[in-house]
Amino acid sequence: MEQLLKDFLLSKAWYFIAARGLTAIVILMSIAAYAVLLERKASAWIQGRVGPNRTNHPLIAWIPFLGTFLQKGGFIQPAADGLKFLFKEDPLPGHVRKTTYVLAPIVALAPALLSLVMLPFGRLPTGEVITLCPGADIGVLFMFAISSLGVYGIALAGWSANSKYPFLGAVRGSAQLISYELAMGLSVLTVFLATAAPGQDNPLSLVAMVDGQQGAWNVLCHPVAALIFLICIFAEANRHPFDMPESETDLVGGFHTEYGSFKFGLFFVAEYGHMVIGSSLFILMFLGGWHFLPWLPTVGTGYVAALFGAAWFFAKLVAFLFFFVWVRWTIPRFRYDQVMRIGWRVLLPVAVLNLLAYFLWYAIKG
């Protein structure tokens, strides 16, 4: 079993590559589906409601105890929602620019899939990093570059709709990305200074950042950078209170107003995919990655330790996704001018001052 797992993770044969690609799609779709369930159940808990608990299937109902748990907990709801999106009628409005209208959801989803393939989420006893792309020791700048391409899907969707509200949503999304990308990049530079070692082949790699947090997490050593990066994640993922491209209170549905059925489902999966990518980057750079706690020893040895490391990573990911939902029902949505003001007049100057302070600190220290 261990050899089969190692071959799957490290082999460069075409059938293993195809299997990893299919695995990435299945993982992203599953995470997005159950992230929706987490959002619905957590929202119901925060508001004092029950949430989805009536989805049933004859093949599940007969299982003793487990069948009732799956139904009442709503764990079959994602399958019902997915089948609904898949089999709904998918109309093509006559007034849209058809080629870009169909292409936009694919462009929005593709960067999330590519970023997920590159994400490291554990380490094998042999030293290889667990990822769906064997031998990938990529840097965070690559992740920024790929994940930022998702805004092209929003821009194409708003432009191809030939409607005012979707176009306004696309313009808002593009402006928001530019505004918060600068502060995000500057906040990460302080982590680069702390983790980059002289003579290292790839000092900006995510693996190097995780290895540099074995003594203390970066969220404790770089709290200002972590806070700026956290706020920028919400803006980059278009999540409340920074959901300006959608903003249903004033733009109906924003950039995806003219979309429905499966195409709308792709936008939905892409949004949750970018939530997963942003959360994973924060965990890797500021919360120790697959390490449990800096002052506690590793659980087990060999492949057991690798399994527990991947489990810690996914546990942190679930907690971070819950944090996204918690913020949604805690902070009211900002106005568009407030979003721009926060990005340019607050986050960017603070990120620059924080970077200068760390430059001065390392100059005096070194």
Residue tagged 């965070």 (tokens): 140
Q: Is the peptide bond between 52 and the residue preceding it cis, with omega within 30 degrees of 0?
A: no
Q: How many domains does the chain have?
A: 1
Q: Is residue 48, in this structure, part of any structural domain at all? A: no
Res. 29 pLDDT band, cuts 50 70 90: confident
> CA 348, CA 47: separation in Å to the nearest integer?
35
Q: Is residue 250, in this structure, part of any structural domain at all? A: yes
> CA 293, CA 27: separation in Å to the nearest integer?
26
Average pLDDT over residues 100-108: 87
Note the pTM of the prediction, 2 decimals. Answer: 0.85
| pLDDT tens column, 112-131 | 888 877 788 877 777 777 77
Average pLDDT over residues 199-214: 72
Task: Tell me which residue range forms the domain holding 148.
Answer: 91-365
| Those residues with Cβ within 8 angstroms of residue 187's Cβ, 6 or more apart along the chain or in another chain | 224, 225, 226, 228, 229, 232, 351, 354, 355
Say which range, 15-19, 128-132, 302-306, has the weakest mean pLDDT: 15-19
User: Across all residues in the chain, what is the average pLDDT?
Assistant: 80
Q: Residue 228: its pLDDT value, please? A: 93
Residue tagged 């107003």 (tokens): 257
Q: Is residue 28, in this structure, part of any structural domain at all? A: no
Q: Are 122 and 310 in contact (CB under 8 A)?
A: yes
Q: Is residue 175, in this structure, part of any structural domain at all? A: yes
On the question of pLDDT at 199 being above 90, the answer is no
Res. 298 pLDDT band, cuts 50 70 90: low
Res. 179 pLDDT band, cuts 50 70 90: confident
On the question of pLDDT at 290 being above 90, the answer is no
Q: Residue 134: its pLDDT value, please? A: 60
Beta bridge mates, 139: 205
Q: Residue 75: its pLDDT value, please? A: 76
* Phi, psi at 217, each rounded to 5°: -70, 150
* Phi, psi at 205, each rounded to 5°: -75, 150
Say which range, 126-140, 147-161, 332-346, has the weakest mean pLDDT: 126-140
| pLDDT tens column, 52-80 | 877 766 666 566 666 666 666 677 788 78
Q: Is residue 231, in this structure, part of any structural domain at all? A: yes
- Specify the amino acid at residue 245: P
